[in-house]
Homo-oligomer: A and B are copies of this chain.
Amino acid sequence: MGSSLVELQAAYAAGTHSPETALAQCLEAIKADNGRLNAFLNVDIDGAQAAARVSTRRINDNQARVLEGLPIAVKDNLDVTGLATTAGMATRRNRLAARDAGVVARLRAAGAVIVGKLNMTEAALGADGRNPHYGDCHHPHQAGCSPGGSSSGSATAVAAGLVPAALGTDTMGSVRIPAAYCGVFGLKPSFGLVSTAGSVAVSRRLDHIGPLAGCLEDLGLLLPVLAGFDPACPVSRPVLLVEPKQDLIYGLPELGRVALADDVAEPWQAARQALVNRHFHHRELAGLAMDPGRIRRAGLLLCEAEMLVEHGPDWAGQRDNFSTELQTLLAWGERRSAPELAAAVRTLDQARLALNAWLEQCDIVILPTTPQRAFSLAQPTPANQADLTCLANCAGLPSLSMPLPVAANELPCGLQLIGRHGRDREVLTAAAQLQAILRPETINR
């Protein structure tokens, strides 16, 4: 269908579209393309159509709420009342949700139409888009290629135009990595800003729920709806969304420790150069003071330990229903000691201090989202996929992935922005500034 949320809003206002016709187009696109993409695991046709009817009526009655009648799909680790929350796991195939996740409730209260549940990496641990239980999710622009993960279905569904926007979750990069691979926009908000109540946890300390969409405006529309203190979420905090500055200082870090593939290094350097050429206020930043692989491994241990609690009864009672890969990871975490876990959390704290030090010198740090572009599902998964994204999870800072300009037939490539805590809107402002100079005609493939 191809319309963004803001375009749909305008079409509803103009009367050229209604929530019911917009949903019908989504359902048609899903019917046409989901067979090859496997982005949706569950389309809630009846529920969505009922919601669209209500929204159509409210628009006609001038009772439209802020997201009235806008179709949105959610990753399958977020509870939607009456539907299974599989988290991409065989063990949870029939685990029906008794109530909506906090974010889903907020979307509904704002009038959004929940279209269905999206494919994801098993238990959201990993970023390759494979799923041994529900089938791999495929890249929207190249068959047999990874869309990234763990929010693989979220990025694929948006990039393929099945829905204009989707929710994903991001523990080490799981919103931004698939956004980068698929050529869409993805936002990981400030820690504590968006409730994670009603999600299947990987790590409560690192998990963030965030939106993916085809344009920045849509992320800006969704953010204030998703944000808000939720007493039912143990990591929720009242966070003030600070007004963005306009005269932003950009930080350009040296990335010697991260091996960038040539086809990422080249557009990244071009983006840096564009900033400099256009006289953006910028600062060169020293390289990361620590080994990103060490951060990744520490984050993985934290996730494994918490997942053994989150999935404890299933791990005890039906271990065979976990994939061999996940079994290996969890069994490793099971044998670690409490002080080893405490030390891992300290390592994550170091990453936070490193980002804080960068953000003492600038307002927005930019860097590539991933060290490589999307890879073939027949190839092994690159180990360093999340090395650039996990930093913002450790630090709890807002971070966005946006497409970098690439040639017309190339796979997408992502540029990542990181801002200060509570300055999520500043990150959106920065992305808009960058989009304006990064040859916009080539950004949307």
- State the A residues within 8 Å of B (CB): 192, 204, 231-232, 234-235, 237-238, 240, 242, 301-302, 304-306, 308-309, 312, 333-343, 345-346, 349-350, 352-353, 356-357, 359-360, 396, 420-422
- Contact, CB under 8 Å: B420 / A234: no
Interchain residue pairs with CB less than 8 A apart (16): A231-B356, A231-B359, A231-B360, A237-B237, A237-B396, A240-B240, A302-B342, A305-B338, A306-B346, A308-B338, A308-B339, A334-B339, A336-B338, A337-B337, A338-B340, A341-B342
A304 to B343, CA, bound (A): 12
A154 to B304, CA, bound (A): 41
Q: State the 3 A-B residue pairs at the shortest beta-carbon distance, nearest first.
A: A231-B356, A234-B349, A305-B342
Give, as a whole number of angstroms, the nearest-CB distance from A326 to chain B: 15
A333: chain B residues within 8 A (beta carbon): 338-339
A235: chain B residues within 8 A (beta carbon): 349
Task: Name the one of B237, B338, B360 contacting A341, with C-beta atoms under 8 angstroms.
Answer: B338
Interface of A is mostly: helix
Query: In the complex this chain forms, how many copies of it are found?
Result: 2
Q: Please, which residue of chain B has its CB at the minimum distance from the CB of A396?
A: B237
Q: A238-B421, A421-B237, A422-B238 are in contact. Are A232 and B341 (CB under 8 A)?
A: no
- Contact, CB under 8 Å: A343 / B238: no
A421: chain B residues within 8 A (beta carbon): 237-238
A360: chain B residues within 8 A (beta carbon): 231
Give, as a whole number of angstroms, the nearest-CB distance from A290 to chain B: 13
Give, as a whole number of angstroms, the nearest-CB distance from A341 to chain B: 4
Q: A349-B204, A353-B231 are in contact. Are A306 and B342 (CB under 8 A)?
A: yes
A357 to B197, CA, bound (A): 14
Q: Which of A231, A301, A308, A421 has the most B CB atoms < 10 Å from its CB?
A: A231
Q: A231-B353, A237-B421 are in contact. Are A301 and B343 (CB under 8 A)?
A: no
A237: chain B residues within 8 A (beta carbon): 192, 237, 396, 421-422
- Contact, CB under 8 Å: B357 / A231: yes
A204 to B234, CA, bound (A): 17
- Contact, CB under 8 Å: A341 / B231: no
A340 to B357, CA, bound (A): 33
Q: Please, which residue of chain B has its CB at the minimum distance from the CB of A235?
A: B349
A342 to B100, CA, bound (A): 25
